[in-house]
Amino acid sequence: MNVYVCVKQVPDPNAPGKMDPATNRLVREGVELVMDPWDEYGVEAGLQLVEQHGGVLTVISMGPERAKEAMRKALAMGAERGVLVSDPALAGSDALATARALAEAIKRESPDIVICGTESSDGSTGLMPGMLAELLGWPQLTFAKKLAVGDGKATIHRQTEVGFQIVEAPLPVVVTVTGGINEPRYPSLKGIMTAKRKEIVELSVGALGLSADQVGAAGAKEQVLDLAKPEERQSGTIASDEGDGGVKIADFLQQRRFI
């Protein structure tokens, strides 16, 4: 089975991020860059599929040359090869342009399944996987907290607010996974060492048969108009126990459909 996992290099989400007031975008220069921790779940899910069914796990990414560093993390975890779509023309791409570039790259291969995180931790649009499925003409299964493949189809437990739905779709398929799906493995030093020697194929926009105005800032339809601070989080409720503490807690949980 050929499994593809999309990964993205992002500023370390645990470091306090900075916004560029001129572009209204996140500052990506001079900060610690890592493979998006959300993508670790996708890589782990992909590795488990390959371990079960055999085949090859390829990681695919779009970004500048340095994005390879992030891809090495996935290769260290056990992915076999990488595909990086990299071109100066891609700078400033929005979700659709990114999906277009990735879709073209994926079409050149023969995947059975493409796994993405639910959203990136920097842009957090959550749009790309849906667009990717549309451009590939494949079904998409989203918010998977459990994933199984067999008999030419993929079946997932789709996380919802109150529980989960069981959804299936024929292969090939795009699946987005949630943080609850697995515990990503820690790369062994052997993995880290061999990752240095693993192949990462680089593809330019031209090689994908795309024109420069379809991607990058030129092809972007999204614009960031304004920046605002998120509303401060409401402080929690403190229930004082006057002999009815248990009831209060039960009511609270029930209102929120936890029980």
Secondary structure (3-state) at 114: strand
When the beta carbons of 15 and 249 are compared against another protein, the nearer one is 15
Q: Cβ 180 to another protein, closest distance in Å? A: 15
Question: Which residues touch 103 (CB under 8 Å, ≥6 apart)?
Answer: 132, 135, 136
Q: Which of 50, 206, 172 is nearest to 58 (CA)?
A: 50
Minimum gap (Å) between residue 98 Cβ and another protein: 25
Q: 232: which 2 tokens?
A: 């401060």
- Judged by beta carbon, residue 12 or residue 119, the one nearer another protein is 12
In whole angstroms, the minimum distance from the beta carbon of 63 to another protein comes to 19
Residue 117 or 219: the one with the smaller Cβ distance to another protein is 117
CB closer to another protein, 196 vs 221: 196
Q: Minimum distance from CB of 40 to another protein (Å)?
A: 10
Q: How many CA atoms lie within 13 A of 29 on its CB side?
A: 1
Q: 54: alpha, beta or left, given left = phi > 0 and alpha = psi -120 to 50?
A: left
Contacting residues toward another protein, per CB under 8 A: 12, 14-16, 32, 34, 183, 185-192
Q: How far is the CB of 15 from another protein (least distance, A)?
A: 6
The token duo for 217 is 């800032």
Nearer to another protein, 190 or 257 (CB): 190
Contact 255, 162 (CB under 8 A): no
Half-sphere exposure of 109 (CA within 13 A, CB side): 25
- Shortest gap between Cβ of 245 and another protein (angstroms)? 22
Q: Where are the beta strands (DSSP E) in the chain?
A: 2-6, 9-11, 19-20, 25-26, 33-35, 56-62, 81-85, 113-117, 140-150, 153-159, 164-170, 173-177, 200-203
Q: Which is nearer to another protein, 76 or 177 (CB)?
A: 76
